[in-house]
Amino acid sequence: MAMPSAPGTAVREAMRIARITGIEARTVPGMPELLAGRVSVSTLRPIQIDDLLRRSPVRIDLDRVQEMISGRTVLVTGAGGSIGSELSRQLAALGPGRLVLLGHGENSIFTITSELTELHPNLQVVPLIADVRDREGLLRRLEPYQPAVIFHAAAHKHVPLMEVNVIESVTNNVIGTANVTQAALELGSDRLVLVSTDKAVRPTNVMGATKRVAEQVVQAAAEANDRNFISVRFGNVLGSRGSVVPVFLSQIAAGGPVTVTHPEMRRYFMTIPESVQLTQQAAVLGQGGEVFVLDMGEPVKIVDLAADLIRLSGLEVGRDIEIHFSGVRPGEKLYEELFFGREYAEPTTHPKVLRAKHEGLPDGAVAAIDELMTLAVRGADDDTLRAALQVLVPDYRPENSAHNLTARPAVRPPDIRAAPITE
């Protein structure tokens, strides 16, 4: 297949025909790989899961993004993670004056620093090992660099783990975001972008609820200080650490079975480069306090994803590898959503970036955020912290987080992407 921009539906149909006729399929790399310069168009490789799910290549206004970045000091928190490291790669190519990579794990920061130093020998790359939960230490480490633009990707993201580590989720996702936001205010940063998640919408889990509060922290700071601080919300990222694809592949390599929680479990998926490109685009569209939502296409059944991975491994479902259903885990929903009921989407100048329009923060929200953080610092128990989260996120329903979920269609915004407006 010599069509790197072919949509996933076309690749899936070609794979189906090839499987029926016993023909081995190869493809040239996808557009993100070609644009990144990691491979050439003549490279042939096996078809991968990204190929089956991909959509039309993302095109962003690189001139505006480069204008925001060029010659300036840019900070990426969580820079060693899946999203943070790809953000760092793409930002490094835009000519920042200095790129500060902050993370808590020394090995991951060492890896991305070494990669960028080799690729961009003239770029000043500053590795910082720090914990976003340490407000004074964070400010002290960042003060010499005065970052103008901050991408805040540091977070705890694993739903089942955070259900049994509530205080860690609150301290990292809420207090960490508050500390990064306060540092941005004190250091005079003119842009801050919080990487958020679709799990912040009507959350049934602690992780999603804390990310929703993190959005509120950013919104409150933007509104109170007239600063261009925003949040960008998207779904699951293919290939990110702890994501379902590596888990399935390891199960296939072990001979199965592949475990899926529920036959109707669906998720939105994006590739890492696609999500990062659109995050940068949202950064230049923001004016302060908004939540942007990335168009992730249609949700994908996890069981279909598992079956595709089995077939891509040259095996057959049921004959070589079984699929077992293990049951919905605590904190999981069958369907993720993009918008709250009181929110609606409005278009931006980019067809794949929507602005979630919603009311301002309710009275008392800032005080409730402070109370939540105080409780966490004092080591409150899980039930107390969950109750404090519910005060801030009335849609948070922890009682829905076990096996009694009711399947409901994912909420989609109206189809307004064809009518972009002028910023």
**Which sequence spans correspond to the domains of the chain?**
1-57, 62-240+269-298+343-400
- Count H helices and E strands in the chain, helices first: 16, 17
Please write the tens of the pLDDT for every residue from 282-303: 888 888 888 888 776 677 788 8
pLDDT tens digits, the chain, 423 residues: what are they?
777 667 777 887 888 888 788 888 887 766 666 665 655 555 676 666 666 665 665 677 788 899 999 999 999 999 999 899 999 999 999 999 999 999 999 999 999 999 999 999 999 999 999 999 999 999 999 999 999 999 999 999 888 899 999 999 999 999 999 999 999 999 999 999 999 988 888 888 999 999 999 999 999 999 999 999 999 987 776 666 656 777 888 888 888 899 988 888 887 777 777 788 888 888 888 888 888 887 766 777 888 888 888 877 777 888 888 999 888 776 666 755 555 444 567 777 887 787 876 667 878 899 999 999 999 999 999 999 999 999 999 888 876 444 334 433 333 333 333 333 232
Sheet holding 73-77, edge to edge: 124-129, 98-103, 73-77, 149-152, 191-197, 228-234, 291-294, 353-357, 344-347
Helix ranges restricted to H, 226-266: 244-253
Q: What is the predicted pLDDT for the residue at 414?
A: 35
**Euclidean distance between CA atoms 73 and 67, whole angstroms:** 13
Q: What is the predicted pLDDT for the residue at 317?
A: 85
CA atoms within a 13 Å half-sphere pointing along the CA-CB vector of 318: 1
- Which tokens hold the place of 34? 């070609």
Q: Which residues are catalytic?
A: 199
**Euclidean distance between CA atoms 7 and 412, whole angstroms:** 21
Burial bucket for residue 346 (CB in 10 Å: 0-12, 13-18, 19+): middle
CATH of domain 62-240+269-298+343-400: 3.40.50.720
Non-local (6+) Cβ contacts of 146 within 8 A are 73, 187, 188
Residue 208: which of 182, 170, 181, 246 has the closest Cα?
170
**Euclidean distance between CA atoms 191 and 231, whole angstroms:** 11
Amino acid (one-letter) located at 168: E
CA distances from 411 to 11, 53, 116, 209, 336 (A): 27, 20, 39, 18, 8
Contact 150, 96 (CB under 8 A): no
Total residue length of the chain: 423
Q: What predicted TM-score, i.e. pTM, was given to this entire model?
A: 0.78
